[in-house]
Amino acid sequence: MNRQNLISELEQITGRGRVFTDEPLMKHCSFRTGGPADLMIRVGTADQLKMVLALLKAEGKETFLLGRGTNLLIGDGGFRGAVITMTEAGSVSGEENGPAGKEPLSKVTASGTTLSAGAGATLQTIALTAARCGLSGLEFAAGIPGSLGGGIVMNAGAYDGEMKQVVREVTLLEEGEVRTRTGEEMEFGYRTSYMKSHPGAVVLGAVMELKEGDPEAVTARIRELAIKRREKQPLEYASAGSTFKRPAIPGVYAGRLIQDAGLRGYACGDAQVSEKHCGFVINRGSASASQIRSVIEEVTKRVFEDSGILLEREVIYLGEF
């Protein structure tokens, strides 16, 4: 079908005003770079997501599920396909969920010591909800600027905490069916999960098992970690957080390897290795995606020449560079 008919079909599923053409992806990426996507679709429920994916597959359209775009470098040429996002203003509730497939994919629900959340909910919202409910275990996640879906895909973590520690079960859309996997079945590892080896699967939501805690103490811990982040990380600049994974060698860190290779402050245009924390590649204002990629690849090359250690990116490349 032609483009306009496809847009009409998509709007019948999602509602009007939720399908965008030639959408600038720099607005949806923490690096603040990237060209347009041919289509961008906002879905609100699992049922909508299932129907949208089926329609796009039937039309032969390449798709990409976008969370908060905080671990992503989008090419200057954009993405010749459809970007689907579940992130938007959601709701927080203490009530039981509604009919399966109908709940907002950004909803957060607390019950006892468990917290249930849709894939589109931000990790910060989930962590702060836990704190208000007197639940401990997600303090580490409050400063991670991503969505739950992305956090599960990469087993997001910080300050000795990771999603693996709290996720009890995950609901997936897999091969057109809604399935539930236990935390153990999610095969969590360092910045990886079951999702990495099953790219066709989509996270719909998760149930997290937490511990009772004092709301004030949990909130104080979140504030303490926020201060540490501000002191040590270049949060004043656009970036995708830690650019590289920690090498699988005890006591060895990417930032130290980059510094030892003489690359502190190394730049290509406005793309630069942060002088505050060498593990971050930052956009000082008007860097292109190509410039950021150039810095990442030069750092990888020179660290290997200096140390013999091949750094592995955390950042995902998407689209045309």
Segment 190-206, tens digit of pLDDT:
999 999 999 899 999 99
SS3 category, 167: strand
Nearest by Cα to 75 from 24, 40, 41, 39: 24
Task: Say which DSSP state 246 is in.
Answer: P
Is-catalytic flag, 223?
A: no
Residue 299 has which token pair?
A: 């750092």
Residue 71 near residue 154 (C-beta atoms within 8 A) = yes
Is-catalytic flag, 290?
A: no
Q: How many helices (H) and strands (E) does the chain have?
A: 8, 20
Q: Looking at 193, 239, 242, 288, which residue is catalytic?
A: 242
pLDDT in tens, 91-113: 444 444 444 567 789 899 999 99
pLDDT in tens, 290-321: 999 999 999 999 999 999 999 999 999 999 99
Q: Looking at 42, 68, 181, 191, which residue is catalytic?
A: 191
Is-catalytic flag, 18?
A: no
Half-sphere exposure of 168 (CA within 13 A, CB side): 11
Residue 120 near residue 202 (C-beta atoms within 8 A) = no
* H or E element that contains 304: helix 289-307
Confidence at residue 88, expressed as pLDDT on a 0 to 100 scale:
59
**Helix, strand, coil fractions of the chain, as percent rounded to 5:** 30, 30, 40
Domains belonging to the chain, first-starting first, are 3-85 (3.30.43.10), 92-230 (3.30.465.10), 234-318 (3.90.78.10)
Residue 119 near residue 208 (C-beta atoms within 8 A) = no
Q: Are strands 79-85 and 36-42 parallel, antiparallel or unpaired?
A: parallel
Q: What type of residue sits at position 281?
A: V
pLDDT in tens, 57-92: 999 999 999 999 999 999 999 999 999 999 754 444
Q: Are strands 161-162 and 238-239 parallel, antiparallel or unpaired?
A: unpaired
Residue 266 near residue 273 (C-beta atoms within 8 A) = yes
- Distance (Å) of CA 251 to CA 78, 246, 254: 38, 10, 10
